[in-house]
Amino acid sequence: MTAHRPSVSFEFFPPKSPEMEDTLWDTICALAPLAPAFVSVTYGAGGSTRERTHTTVSRIVSEASLTAAAHLTCVDATRAEIDTIARSYWDAGVRHIVALRGDASDPDAGYTPHPDGYAYAVDLVSGLRDVADFEISVAAYPEVHPEAQSAAFDLDNLKRKIDAGATQAITQFFFDNDVFLRFRDRVADAGIEVPLVPGIMPVSNFTSMTRFAAMCGASVPAFLADAFRGLDDTPYERRQVAIELASRQCRELQDAGVSQFHFYTLNRAALTRAVCENIGVAAGGAEPAMAEMAR
Ligand SMILES: Cc1cc2nc3c(=O)[nH]c(=O)nc-3n(C[C@H](O)[C@H](O)[C@H](O)COP(=O)(O)OP(=O)(O)OC[C@H]3O[C@@H](n4cnc5c(N)ncnc54)[C@H](O)[C@@H]3O)c2cc1C
């Protein structure tokens, strides 16, 4: 049974080249009519995309009629530098920050806090609260963050981020809904009352997704491998399977009372748009404005 129209948000990464920027802009044009609650732009590992993230978010704010959120991490920057970036977002009209610890740019190096920086996401959330009255999202891990001392420590870390002023949590992607629903129960038992938004990753490339999932500590159930087996050279069938699986995942979550979804779009519109339409997120009346914007 499908419930009310869910609220959706879309995550993009900042483009590296003019061609990628065109692709992103086409994607934004294709997804904007779905009237997302917000769209967010990631911040590269090691803070490597500081300018590109800023440029992309600013362009979304100034040219698209969409609410934009900027991801911001603690990596390789002093508190003063991060506060300055946050202030410049506020001045550019950005009211929502996704506050993260981030990872080292060299994955083998491990994370070391900057001596004058915010050590963990919780510290960044507190710092942002002093900069301006942002809406703040933080990350949550249904399968536990890979570096966490324990599941209990990780849950407590989430609670501390909320107590420091975060207004919602967005999860790492997952494919087993029971994992999310058990986590949602533990989050509620911990007294966390802000929205817990599941991160949904429609799978466009099974092989690269499994590599990425291993890095993030997200498990890949056997049914996914079975569904994509033998489809490497049949992009149309692969796409249909991807849409069907992600739609089914969202529908099951809707039946369990979930009404908000955050989509990891990988800067591509087709899968996310098809899944949204399958779960009752129809295109509204924003097409003309976006056509104008695309010129
Ligand atoms: C929705 C979402 C969006 C993301 N966007 C980006 C992005 O744009 N750019 C990017 O680089 N990465 C991004 N990430 C990845 C994220 O940066 C990594 O997962 C990172 O390793 C942890 O970030 P965090 O904010 O969860 O960190 P934290 O909440 O600070 O936690 C990190 C780890 O440290 C542990 N910990 C916390 N406090 C302490 C302490 N005092 N002592 C010891 N251990 C502690 C936690 O249990 C956890 O294991 C995103 C992740 C998600 C889920």
A 10 A CB-CB count for 102 gives 22
- Mean pLDDT across 181-193: 98
> What pTM does this model have?
0.95
Closest CA to 142 of 103, 105, 185: 185
What percentage of the chain carries pLDDT values higher than 70? 95
Q: Whose CA is nearest to atom 34 of ligand 1?
A: 148
Residue 157 beta carbon below 6 angstroms from any ligand 1 atom:
yes
Length of the chain: 295
- pLDDT of 122 > 90? The answer is yes
| pLDDT bracket for residue 38 (50, 70, 90) | very high
CA of 107 to the centre of ligand 1 (A): 14
| pLDDT bracket for residue 292 (50, 70, 90) | very low
CA of 157 to the centre of ligand 1 (A): 10
Residues forming a β-bridge with 12: 41
- State the Cα–Cα distance between residues 147 and 221, nearest whole angstrom: 22
Residues 192/183, Cβ–Cβ less than 8 Å: no
- pLDDT of 18 > 70? The answer is yes
Q: Whose CA is nearest to atom 8 of ligand 1?
A: 42
Ligand 1: atom nearest CA of 146 is 49
Q: What is the pLDDT of residues 41-76, one digit of tens each?
A: 999 877 778 899 999 999 999 999 899 999 999 999
Question: Who's near 146: CB < 8 A, 6+ residues apart?
Answer: 215, 216, 217
- Mean pLDDT across 279-283: 92
| pLDDT bracket for residue 3 (50, 70, 90) | low
Residue 46 beta carbon below 6 angstroms from any ligand 1 atom:
no
Q: What is the pLDDT of residues 97-114, one digit of tens each?
A: 999 999 987 878 889 999
Query: Which of 41, 100, 153 for mutating ligand 1's site (highest number of atoms within 8 Å of CB)?
Result: 100
Query: Which of 111, 120, 122, 187 for mutating ligand 1's site (highest number of atoms within 8 Å of CB)?
Result: 120
Which domains does the chain carry? 7-294 (3.20.20.220)
Residue 56 beta carbon below 6 angstroms from any ligand 1 atom:
no
Residue 125 beta carbon below 6 angstroms from any ligand 1 atom:
no
Ligand 1: atom nearest CA of 99 is 25
| pLDDT bracket for residue 204 (50, 70, 90) | confident
CA of 270 to the centre of ligand 1 (A): 29
